[in-house]
Chains A and B, each alone.
Chain A
Amino acid sequence: MEFVRVKEDCDNLWAVKDPIKEEDELTSLFTKWNDLNYLFDFFIANIDDLKKYFNIKKISSAITDTVDDARELEKLIIECSGEEPLDTVFKPLGSNDDYKYALARGKARNWDNKRHPSWLRIYAIRIERNIYVITGGAIKLTPKMQNRNHTMLELKKLDDCKDFLKKNGVFDTDSFNDLLNE
């Protein structure tokens, strides 16, 4: 498993890079979210979820929402990988992912999306305070990641990265101990 810095001069935000793929996980995510061919096929395949959970019937509306939301989320990631604390953007994935535990799984989304709750997700492992490794992302239309194959795959990628980091003894013990004593 390899990693890339999301921004050149920033140590806080990284992304997984599979050596056999052209793009790292974060770059690939936004390439897909701006490819209308991909979005068209995705929403046709998941039209039932779109109607059931978001009451959206028109594919073109879903695509427009996605592209607009992706634009905002992209700006948020670029801004937050500098001075803004990442811990305010990435939140624990679930109730078992409390940040008091080492290598917690986290998710980011556009928390202020006005039209409807954002369905775009970026997933990451929190290595220590304000340091994250992005493992992937998804268009999440269902309440639980376990409900669909494409979100299940993202869960696996999160766990694979966490296992890799754990196996290599990666978390900052001093920071972790400080966290426990807070």
Chain B
Amino acid sequence: MEKSKSIKFLEAHQAKEKSKFVENACKRQDEQVWLNWSQSIALSIMDYMLENNISRSDLANMLGMSHQYVSEILSGKANFSLKSIASISHKLHLDGLINNDALREVPLITFTDEERKWLQDRINVLSEICHTQYVCDELLVARENPAPYNNHNEQERHLELGVLQKLKLLLM
């Protein structure tokens, strides 16, 4: 079907860079669980700031952190360690930060038989690396650089992504 004049015009004025809208949307969907946690913590801190009339600068001083890191915390995209959460909670006297509803609602992470088999096959391949952390790092790197796990099987890719997401959550 011949393209309309309008489409031809838009194509003639198309930017070199492609839109990242769909890519960013998929990333947000994939990372929704931990993003919800991070956002929840950021919101608790924001409530605290407003209730106590504390600026970002005051917060940075209270936490002994840089303005840049405070900005990251408040963006709702900070990948907190449990230690960081405990430290913030303690310094702000915010017990509610770690007893957050969003954290309580997270289901127990379990692997299906198929996922276990996938993981075991790959651990066998990487059997010289003993430490689980390194195995998971290798698998995560492999996910970003498809070879040698590159395959065109949609089902296997979906399985791979599911397992790696669960591993990421376990390692957080």
**What is the number of residues of chain B that contact chain A, defined by CB distance less than 8 Å?**
32
Closest CB of chain A to B33's CB: distance in Å?
13
Q: Considering only CB atoms, which chain B residue lies closest to A26 in the complex?
A: B21
- The answer to whether A30 and B21 have CB atoms under 8 Å apart is yes
- The answer to whether B15 and A173 have CB atoms under 8 Å apart is no
A67 at the interface (CB under 8 A from B): yes
- The answer to whether B4 and A63 have CB atoms under 8 Å apart is no
Q: Considering only CB atoms, which chain B residue lies closest to A128 in the complex?
A: B6
- The answer to whether B24 and A19 have CB atoms under 8 Å apart is no
A58 at the interface (CB under 8 A from B): yes
Closest CB of chain A to B30's CB: distance in Å?
13
Interface secondary structure of A, over-half rule: mixed
Closest CB of chain A to B72's CB: distance in Å?
9
CA distance A63 to B45 in the complex (A): 13
A112 at the interface (CB under 8 A from B): no
Interface residues of B (CB under 8 A from A): 3-7, 9-10, 13-15, 17-22, 24-25, 28, 32, 39, 42-44, 46-47, 50, 71, 74-77
Interface residues of A (CB under 8 A from B): 1-8, 11, 14-15, 17, 19, 23-24, 26-27, 30-31, 34-37, 40, 58-60, 63-64, 67, 71, 74-75, 77-78, 127-128, 131, 133, 165, 168, 170-173, 175
